[in-house]
Amino acid sequence: MSLESYNAKRNFKKTKEPKGKKTVSGKRLKFCVQHHLASHDHYDFRLELNGVLKSFAVPKGPSYNPKDKRLAVMVEDHPLSYRNFEGIIPEGEYGGGTVMLWDRGYYKIDYYDDKVLKITLYGKRLKGKWSLVNYKDNNFLLIKEIDKYVNYAKISDFKTSVKSDLTMKEIAKKYQNK
């Protein structure tokens, strides 16, 4: 799913989200996770690949417990600059609600085939080995692999932005009139 789909869904006169432009990936691949309180509360997991962010909506968010298989639905590619986005998407616009930058860092690809992507995350909060398993259409399972980062913490323990240190409420307040 390309950036055309990303651009088509958004009115850039109304939303402060970045316009979708393809860039060239550097040596180190980046990733981010955004906590997105829209019509449904969810986390967006985004991995840089070929100059865009491959994006997955994760309703329950990632889990540090390998027994939890978290649904991750692949959505449209996002521009690489989206990894820095935090703020408000106006009501009535696509994805309207509050966006917090919940984690960011680098990752590396350890293995991939038609169905499985195995990665190592070097984030502030998400670390170690993870898998994304494609089981049907755009539906994947995001699973923590067994390593020393298992049960490191619960994601709900982290209530603030890695960018601004603000909570969801504080982000909503800060950007409400902008």
Coil, strand or helix: which one is 173? helix
Query: Does residue 46 belong to the site contacting Mn ion (CB under 5 A)?
Result: no
Of how many residues is the chain composed? 178
Cα–Cα–Cα angle for 160, 148, 35, nearest 5°?
25
The tokens 């350890």 sit on which residue? 110
> Cβ 97 to Mn ion, closest distance in Å?
8
Structure tokens, 28: 């180190």
Query: Does residue 36 belong to the site contacting Mn ion (CB under 5 A)?
Result: yes
> Cβ 36 to Mn ion, closest distance in Å?
4
> Cβ 152 to Mn ion, closest distance in Å?
24
CA torsion 82→26→61→175, rounded to 10°? Answer: -20
Q: Which of residues 120-149 bind Mn ion (CB under 5 A)?
A: none
Structural contact between residues 105 and 30, judged by C-beta atoms closer than 8 angstroms: yes
Query: Does residue 44 belong to the site contacting Mn ion (CB under 5 A)?
Result: yes
> Cβ 92 to Mn ion, closest distance in Å?
16
Q: Which CB, 36 or 54, lies closer to Mn ion?
A: 36
The amino acid that residue 10 corresponds to is R
Q: Which of residues 89-108 bind Mn ion (CB under 5 A)?
A: none
Q: Which CB, 36 or 127, lies closer to Mn ion?
A: 36
Q: How many residues bind Mn ion (CB under 5 A)?
A: 2
**Cα separation of 136 and 141, whole Å?**
10
User: Which residues of this protein are in contact with Mn ion, per CB under 5 A?
Assistant: 36, 44
